[in-house]
Amino acid sequence: MKALVTFGCSWTAGIGCWYDEDTSLEEYKKARKKFKLSKIMMDNSYRFILANRHGYDNINFSAGGSSNGKQFRLAEEYFNLDDYKKYDEVIVLWGITSTARLDAWDVKNNRYTNVFLNNKSLPKTIEYEWMMHHYDHDVEVRRLSNQMQHWDKYFSMIGVKNYWFDTFNHHDYEYNSPNMIMGDENPRDLMSKLCKDQGLLFNEDRYHFSSWSLDNARIKFLLKRRLVNPHSCHPNKQCHILLADILDKNVKFCYNK
């Protein structure tokens, strides 16, 4: 048995992968709620496409709005168990998301929650105070570098092949991981790769927060190309096929053969 273990945010999870051009905003919101309750809709996500192409079970930890911190926490919880050992081959495909997100414990609701640090129009909130006094993008990228180096070493020790990719922003890591997809390219993130493949010939460093807004030129370009939906700006069905093709060229499946 083979397993493709996936970590990441909404792009990896497949939020919006069911969208078609006849879907209204209200219909989209309803479908998004159903997505959380049904695994059927994930069939159009690039992680499922890849797993299906190569005969892998997809063990997915990616989720809409997820932070990098949440994904590292879930990886710790999963690989501290022995469930992965039942597979003859395990590949980890890990998408790094926006640094402006936190994985925080919610005492009132007794659960972890996602905290977003990119909205300066909400003063006198915990998010605003954290964003103004504790968030630094460069520090977060440095933290990511250390965490990626740690997991590279750990996966190597337990016989798991892992791959990293920047999802919709290029990050200049201090650590040059040999497992980074398109590691020698700048920009290397999937959104920029999509734009380049579709004919956008300029690079843009404005950060995309993936918060249902057209906040940079690259996401606007993909909308014009009808590769993301106009409601939440997530990749649609056609786009997920293109993303699967990009990753398929960079991931060595059946690496034990």
pLDDT tens digits along 140-149 = 999 999 999 9
The pTM of the whole model exceeds 0.75: yes
pLDDT tens digits along 185-219 = 999 999 999 999 999 877 777 899 999 889 899 99
Contact predicate 50/247, CB 8 Å: yes
What b/e sequence results for 52-75 when a residue is b if at least 16 CB atoms lie within 10 Å of its CB, and e otherwise? Answer: eeeebebbbbbbbbbbbbbbbebb
pLDDT at 37 over 50: no
pLDDT at 113 over 80: yes
